[in-house]
A and B are shown apart, each in its own frame.
Chain A
Amino acid sequence: MKNLVRELRMEHGLSQGELATELDVSRQTINSIEQERYTPSLPLALGLAHFFGKTVEEVFDANGSR
């Protein structure tokens, strides 16, 4: 699923490992989300959005137009 996780993570100056630690997932999971290979669960998507102070719709785009 298209998303802005990589861009938001870079804006916050975080590595994939640091973001993974914040959300209690593996670094590989963050990488998979950024590479659009893995679609996170609703709880993780909400966690990512809340962490960056955004809504889920602002971070993820199910239609792939982002």
Chain B
Amino acid sequence: MRTAAGRRHSKWVVPLFSLALGFLFLGIQWSNGDPGSGLVSFAIMVGFGAVILFGGRSETIRGLRGDGRDERFRQIDVNATAFAGLVVITAILVGFFVELARGNDGNPYGLLGAVAGLAYIAAIVWQRVRS
């Protein structure tokens, strides 16, 4: 039986991931000849990581950071992830139909929609087999 606390991870994971993404943005935009935008992207990601790392005792910050997660926050996380996914899929569908209306083939929205649909079906099958 899983405990109430369950899986938690170090408070450094999300800030370090943000830092890595910042370096990735910087490298890609710099190599494309736009170091200014790269530095702005890097600063944003470092700022986000710093807020998460030094965000104090706020439950929201600790939950986002990962070290303050318990079963209730994991449920909040699942619901928030589902909501965000719904928003993204809605945006993809709107983009797809707009592209079709403009006489284009609907891509890349069609491809993204297909990936989302397949991922959803695969997750349903996987979760059904596991439970």
Contacting pair A40 B71 (CB below 8 A): yes
Q: Determine if B99 is an interface residue (Cβ-Cβ < 8 Å).
A: no
Task: From the candidates B1, B2, B3, B73, name the one contacting A26 in the complex (CB within 8 A).
Answer: B73
Complex CA distance for A32 and B59, rounded to whole angstroms? 13
Interface residues of A, count at CB 8 A: 14
B: interface residue count bin: 10 to 19
Is B22 interfacial (CB-CB < 8 Å)? no
Assembly CA distance A40 to B73 (angstroms): 11
Q: Is the CB of A43 within 8 A of B72?
A: no
Contact call A43/B3, Cβ cutoff below 8 A? yes
Within 8 Å of chain A (Cβ to Cβ): is B125? no
Interchain nearest-CB distance for B113 vs A (Å): 34
Whole-angstrom distance between the alpha carbons of A17 and B60 in the complex? 17
Contacts of B70 in A (CB 8 A): 24-26, 29
A47 B68 Cβ-Cβ under 8 A:
no
- Using a CB-CB cutoff of 8 Å, which residues 1-38 of chain A contact chain B? 23-26, 28-29, 32, 38
Asked if B4 is at the interface of the complex by the 8 Å CB criterion, the answer is yes
Complex Cα–Cα for A44 and B72 (A)? 10
B residues sitting closer than 8 Å to A (CB atoms) are: 1-5, 59, 62, 68, 70-73
Q: A28-B72, A32-B72, A40-B71 are in contact. List 12 more A-B contacts (CB 8 A).
A: A24-B4, A25-B71, A26-B62, A26-B70, A26-B72, A26-B73, A28-B59, A29-B71, A29-B72, A38-B72, A43-B3, A47-B4
